[in-house]
Amino acid sequence: MRRSIRHIPQRTCVACRKVRPKRELIRLVRSSSGRVEVDTGGKETGRGSYLCQAQECWEVGLRGGRLEHALRTTLTLDNREQLIRYGKEVISG
């Protein structure tokens, strides 16, 4: 009898470059308006990128421009601050 092995989607964190199961990462998406938002459901339309649930990855991704490069956009100061706040509130707390 064959056992079916369920496929687990893998994604790469843009900051640390580690490959992890998609569910362990947080998806950020560039909307059609150009704003970058956290995609809590993982199904929003738009160009997506992933960060680990680690404060260091959020800092590297947002500070180093890796997230902007992956999403092919430039973050506004307001948008960057919103994402930093999310990282501090949700990831740390």
Residue 55 lies in a domain: yes
Assign 71 to helix, strand or coil. Answer: helix
Structural domain count, the chain = 1
Amino acid at residue number 24: E
Phi/psi at 6 (5° precision): -80, 130
Report pLDDT for 1. Answer: 64
Which DSSP symbol is given to 92?
Answer: I
Alpha helices in the chain (DSSP H): 55-63, 66-71, 77-86
Residue 5 lies in a domain: no
pLDDT in tens, 32-84: 999 999 998 988 999 999 999 999 999 999 988 999 999 999 999 999 999 99
* Residue 4 included in any domain: no
What is this structure's pTM? 0.88
CA dihedral for 40, 46, 50, 56, sign (positive or negative):
negative
